[in-house]
């Protein structure tokens, strides 16, 4: 029985063993190797003339797989504040203790807790974010934008002062039982986003429905004017599955 030291060691019969550095591997002639703990990454048989090349390819694939499998950090709102303020965020799921404050980065998971409002003061360029807004939680995008989101969910409120509704890979925020989208400026709602759960109009101006809209929940015109059709000859359809309230 021969012990081998990581990282790479070859044995008779042109076997290449690739083991993580924290593992201890033991070679038993004519048998597979055993690894303690279970940290064996790859066992590949290579031809003698291509051993080094194959080993390099294997290590490269392993490195790429490891990098791609890293999951993001879960961040929770510690307090009301700006998105790009580290002290807005904590890794404490209860949101009551400031732990590991940092601005979210690519692929992180964001939880907007009840009673907290997070405001964008610049475009959010990080990609792959998953955002969940609990009921009573608010994101105020103002006039700024998100890069493409991995997911958007919850029963909170998403406020916008532009027509730049986020591009989302998986969007349950606008499905039945989802959240509320509130427009705070006079805009034209285009075909970029035609489905909402609850829709609120709260502006001193006019929000124009320029394409067919479907609401799974309620329509609330809290302030301002909601105009169906953009003065064109095209007929527009508005479907509201819940209540319509005009204050």
What mean pLDDT do residues 235-240 have? 95
- Token pair, residue 5, equals 């030291």
Residue with token string 């995008």: 141
Segments in the chain forming alpha helices (H)? 51-68
Q: Find the mean pLDDT for residues 190-213.
A: 95
Question: Residue 136 CA to chain centroid, in angstroms?
Answer: 20
Ramachandran bin of 58, using left for φ above 0, alpha for ψ from -120 to 50, beta for the remaining angles: alpha
* Token pair in block for residue 152: 């958007």
Does position 147 have pLDDT exceeding 80, yes or no? yes
Provide the pLDDT for residue 55.
53
| Residues above pLDDT 90, as percent of the chain | 68
Token couple for 85? 């303020």
For residue range 93-135, what is the model confidence (pLDDT) as tens digits? 999 999 999 999 999 999 999 999 999 999 999 999 999 999 9
Please say whether the beta carbons of 161 and 185 come within 8 A. Answer: yes
Task: Give the model's pLDDT for residue 133.
Answer: 98
Give the pLDDT confidence of 6-61 residue by residue, as tens digits.
444 444 444 433 433 343 434 334 444 344 444 333 333 443 444 555 555 544 55
pLDDT at 18: 40
Select from 205, 106, 209, 222 the least CA-distant residue to 157: 222
Res. 190 pLDDT band, cuts 50 70 90: confident
Q: Summarize pLDDT for 150-173 with one digit per residue, the tens.
A: 999 999 999 999 999 999 999 999
Whether 115 and 133 have beta carbons less than 8 Å apart is answered as no
- Which pLDDT does position 8 carry in this prediction? 41
- Spatial contact of 151 and 168, defined as CB atoms under 8 Å apart: yes
Q: In this prediction, what percent of the chain has a pLDDT beyond 70?
A: 71
Question: Torsions phi, psi of 46, nearest 5?
Answer: -125, 150
Helix, strand, or coil here: 43?
A: strand
């Amino acid at each position: 029985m021969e012990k081998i030291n990581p990282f790479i060691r070859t044995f008779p019969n042109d076997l290449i063993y690739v083991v993580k550095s924290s593992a201890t591997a033991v070679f038993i002639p004519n048998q597979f190797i055993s690894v303690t703990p279970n940290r064996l990454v790859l066992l590949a048989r290579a031809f003698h003339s291509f051993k080094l090349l194959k080993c390099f390819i294997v290590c490269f694939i392993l490195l790429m797989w490891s990098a791609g499998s890293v999951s993001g950090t879960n961040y929770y709102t510690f307090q009301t504040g700006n998105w790009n303020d580290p002290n807005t965020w904590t890794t404490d799921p209860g949101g009551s203790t400031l732990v590991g404050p940092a601005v979210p980065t690519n692929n992180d998971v964001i939880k907007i807790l009840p009673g907290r409002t997070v405001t964008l003061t610049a475009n959010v360029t990080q990609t792959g974010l998953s955002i969940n807004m609990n009921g009573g939680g608010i994101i105020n995008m103002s006039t700024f934008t998100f890069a493409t989101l991995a997911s958007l969910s919850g029963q909170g409120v998403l406020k916008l002062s532009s027509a730049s509704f986020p591009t989302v890979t998986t969007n349950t925020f606008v499905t039945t039982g989802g959240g509320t989208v509130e427009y705070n400026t006079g805009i034209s709602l285009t075909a970029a986003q035609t489905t909402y759960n609850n829709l609120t109009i709260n502006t001193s101006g006019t929000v124009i429905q320029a394409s067919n809209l479907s609401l799974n929940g309620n329509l609330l015109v809290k302030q301002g004017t909601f105009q169906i059709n953009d003065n064109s000859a095209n007929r527009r359809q508005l479907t509201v599955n819940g209540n319509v309230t005009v204050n």
